[in-house]
Structure 1
Amino acid sequence: MKHKFVKHAGSRRLLLIFAGWGMDSNPFEHVSRPGYDTMVVWDYRELTPDWTAVSGYEEIALIAWSMGVYAASMTIHAIRHKITAAIAVNGTLTPVDNLRGIPEAIYEGTAAGLDERSLKKFFRRMCGDRATTDHFMSAAPQRAASELVDELHAIYPEPWFANPKVSDWDRAVIGRDDAIFPACNQQRAWEGTPLTVVDRPHYIDLQEIADAYIIDKERAAGKFDAGRETYDANTPVQQAIVEAMSEDIVRCHVDRQLSTAGTVCLEIGSGTGSLTRRLASMMPKGFLYTWDIGSTAPEGCDPTRFTSCDAELKICRTPGERYDAIATASTVQWFNSPRRFIAECHRVLRPGGVLMLTAFVRGNMHELTAASGISLTVPDERQWEAMIPAGFETLSWESADYDLSFDNPTDVLRHLRLSGVNGLDRGSHKVSGTSIVRRYPRMLDGRCHLSYRTIRMILRKKDNV
């Protein structure tokens, strides 16, 4: 295996790209995400990585494409504890398989007849159309066909002494028009894993994937801090969500658990303290700790119990069975992997401990998506439910939609600016405010609406887990 840093700015976070068969770093030199260095891995003739180069990173976001999905699953064992997101793109853990990968006859035929001419034909099939092929060939990999034959033979058949595959992936992105890994085979292979099916061929510009699924956490922190003074006055939906969560806590009698002397509660994403103050009033004899990516402790919080941090990383480094309760409101959709976060919450809760969580679901702010073409990628309600570990029992599960009405699109954008992060900046895809104002949908009366779709859950960790 070979690797190259295509962006190396001394960041604490790394975007790790596993390229496909026949690749080098050339087609991926442009892929980046703010706040992350970028490293490309390729050449799977030997699956023996040296992870020394990534030892200094606090967090790794993994995007693996094509045969790189298999290669990553075989080699990332030593760095799994640093990975907060693992996205598979047009590949499977069984790369040569008649039902869950590339059909065996096609794979063997490719290996038997590979030369420079057939390689170019493969790239055309991989790209699907002339424009995509031209784009890919402008930064084509520079490897000899004979070398690629060896790579094919090294991958299939698999060696009997291979490591167990890492099968814990957050999402699989499937190109509906993939002529290499048939889309139906990919769907079978990823049963039980969240799927996104896109109208793309086998080759997908991985910048699209990075923009869609890897969060710019530095920008999020800066915007939350910048909007702190105007947040409470401009977030009626978030305030209503906190009010509803407080009612859920009382209805499920969790408030009695919080009021017990010595109870230890952790709030994640404390922000300006709307939920913090309610929790503090419920637990006069307990200990409330707060974490937030912003730099300032919320009002109503003991400053000595506030930590400015990336909670998605910090919870992975927290000892097990540390807390009696964890609460988080309108925060986890800003994590690279909400699924992993919920699993970590289960680990650090004591038996009988409760997780109180609110989040947005797919379709949130759909009017803004229609006007801009950009949306924060969030799960739907069914996918949120699928994230819940078996070790939790559900005490409460509620969904709610909220609708805000504005005189004009400019007022919508002002609301978003004053409320902080809104998901409009998605890396290479930028849309001007003028364009959004022009395209924003209006009702028959001329007014503009903004819809929030939310989910609230209270989960209890089972005593026998």
Structure 2
Amino acid sequence: GRRITDVVEIGPGTGLFTRAYLGWLRGANLEFWDLAAIGDDLPGKKRICDAELAVRGMADNSADAIVASASVQWFNSLGRFLAECGRVLRPGGQVVISTFGRSTFHELSGIITPAATYLDADGLARLTPDAMELTMSDDGRTATVDFESASDLLRHMSRTGVNTSSASSGNIAAARSIVRQRITRLTYHPVYAIFTKTHPCS
């Protein structure tokens, strides 16, 4: 029932998530931010930038929604980003994200040091600004992906994000350990969260 006119999506990638919501945001002003080039098949404005820095340049009360699918785990400070979103969003505005929980890549525990930050429900709750209310879904369910070989697993990791781990960003010892131990399965632990601006920022 709330009119949405200005939306920012962070890290659209292939546009899979974008196309899932475009149908019910007709007429909205869309802006896409990414560290990499953004496909011409997506509508709206495109901006190659660091989202954590770009949000600081937005005017107060200038957006209705800020959305990100599988992107915020790369942020240096999700808490600082959410605080900025609280300033930028109009009353009732929302930050809608999907990210990954602590069970993600548990098969590689002790082998790699994740560059991503995986948060559980308590971790996200602690980062919620006073001006926002958190609604989230983390029922503990996970999804596993099986690969033909450890080499296929390593190729998958290198293709699914920037600096996902020490194994995919040039750590030869970690990669060799994965191959030696014949690890061919990865677990993903999806977490979904909506932060709603309930009152003005102090």
Paired amino acid for 1:451 = T
Equivalent of residue 98 in structure 2, options 341, 354, 358: 358
Query: What is the TM-score of this pair, normalised by structure 2?
Result: 0.86
Equivalent of residue 180 in structure 2, options 438, 448, 452: 438
Distance in 2 of aligned mates of 1:380 and 1:309:
24
Q: How far has the Cα of 1:378 moved from its partner?
A: 1.8
The equivalent residue for 1:413 is 154
Distance in 2 of aligned mates of 1:315 and 1:406:
38
Give unmatched runs, 5+ long, in structure 2: none
Equivalent of residue 78 in structure 2, options 338, 346, 349: 338
Distance in 2 of aligned mates of 1:321 and 1:288:
16
Q: Which has the higher contact order (CA 8 A, sep 6+)?
A: 2
Deviations 1:35-78 (A, max 9, x none): xxxxxxxxxxxxxxxxxxxxxxxxxxxxxxxxxxxxxxxxxxxx
Q: How far has the Cα of 1:433 moved from its partner?
A: 2.9
Q: How far has the Cα of 1:435 moved from its partner?
A: 2.8
Query: Is the 1:273–1:301 Cα contact (8 Å) retained in structure 2?
Result: no
Paired amino acid for 1:266 = V
Deviations 1:60-105 (A, max 9, x none): xxxxxxxxxxxxxxxxxxxxxxxxxxxxxxxxxxxxxxxxxxxxxx
Distance in 2 of aligned mates of 1:377 and 1:325:
24
For 2:173, what is the secondary structure of its paired residue?
coil
Distance in 2 of aligned mates of 1:298 and 1:277:
13
| 1:276 pairs with 2:18 | yes
Q: Which has the higher strand share?
A: 2
Which structure 2 residues correspond to residues 142-291 of structure 1 after superposition, within 5 A?
256-257=1-2, 260=3, 263-291=5-33
Distance in 2 of aligned mates of 1:283 and 1:377:
30
Query: Is the 2:94–2:194 Cα contact (8 Å) retained in structure 1?
Result: yes
Distance in 2 of aligned mates of 1:290 and 1:298:
11
Q: Which has the higher helix share?
A: 1
For 1:285, what is the secondary structure of its paired residue?
coil
Q: How far has the Cα of 1:355 moved from its partner?
A: 1.1
> How many residues are treated as equivalent by the alignment?
197
Cα 1:276/1:428, change in 2 over 3 Å: closer
Distance in 1 of aligned mates of 2:127 and 2:107:
27
Give unmatched runs, 5+ long, in structure 1: 1-255, 442-447
Cα 1:427/1:419, change in 2 over 3 Å: closer
Cα 1:407/1:425, change in 2 over 3 Å: closer
Distance in 1 of aligned mates of 2:116 and 2:24:
34
Distance in 1 of aligned mates of 2:88 and 2:165:
30
Q: How far has the Cα of 1:411 moved from its partner?
A: 2.1
The equivalent residue for 2:192 is 456
Q: How far has the Cα of 1:432 moved from its partner?
A: 5.2
Which structure 2 residues correspond to residues 80-159 of structure 1 after superposition, within 5 A?
none
